[in-house]
Chain A
Amino acid sequence: DTGVSQDPRHKITKRGQNVTFRCDPISEHNRLYWYRQTLGQGPEFLTYFQNEAQLEKSRLLSDRFSAERPKGSFSTLEIQRTEQGDSAMYLCASSLEVLNEKLFFGSGTQLSVL
């Protein structure tokens, strides 16, 4: 399977705990994006990388959130001191660095904070 892979698919945690999600993009894609989707809403942009450089972060990405893409391949998204409002589907997408190129999404990680 050469699509975007996300792990885990589901994560249940207690408020205050830290969680980390992983995304493996399509291998030749140098752009990687993180989005968050809550019930009844469309995906909301969080951050994106071009190779290993994090080029943009949304104001939604509070200081409890950190994302990395250390070697320009896979990426991790960490949420520290989780809150119930962090419960959402976290989607990863990747694309080529081509003008107006479509994004390919993974199946997401569903986070539930109890």
Chain B
Amino acid sequence: DQQVKQNSPSLSVQEGRISILNCDYTNSMFDYFLWYKKYPAEGPTFLISISSIKDKNEDGRFTVFLNKSAKHLSLHIVPSQPGDSAVYFCAASQGGNNRLAFGKGNQVVVIP
């Protein structure tokens, strides 16, 4: 069963505009959420995270929002740059064991 779900598998956005990626989860015990970015032929690289005690975390152009009651989080990238073209994975963990459950990923293409 997919505990972390990412719909809308692909997104195309113009350079300079906002990219918004969405993620839903079903396990209410998840207490830590992360976004990873993956380029072809490379492993996922960490982007940004948020603890369940917060509802927003910002790091430069990247902001993650968490809505616990809706079991929903989103990643905003502003402004989008061509180097942001990659697959983005939403992941979640519980209980501090750092074992991550991943979504299927969203392909983002930033058009120059």
Contact = CB atoms under 8 A, between A and B. Distances in A.
A75 interface: no
Interface string A62-79: 000000000000000000
Interface residues of A, number: 25
A4 interface: yes
B38 to A, nearest CB: 9
Given A100-B32, A100-B51, A100-B93, A45 B44 contact: no
Nearest to A9: B41
Interface stretch (B66-74, B75-83, B100-108): B100-108
Contacts of A45: 99-101
Interface residues of B, number: 27
Contacts of B34: 102
A43 B44 contact: yes
B45 interface: yes
Interface of A: 4, 31, 33, 40-45, 48, 55-56, 91, 93, 95, 99-108
15 contacts: A40-B104, A42-B103, A42-B105, A43-B102, A44-B102, A48-B97, A56-B97, A56-B99, A91-B43, A95-B98, A100-B32, A100-B93, A101-B98, A102-B46, A107-B43
Interface of B: 4, 6, 31-32, 34, 36, 41-46, 49, 51, 89, 91, 93, 96-105
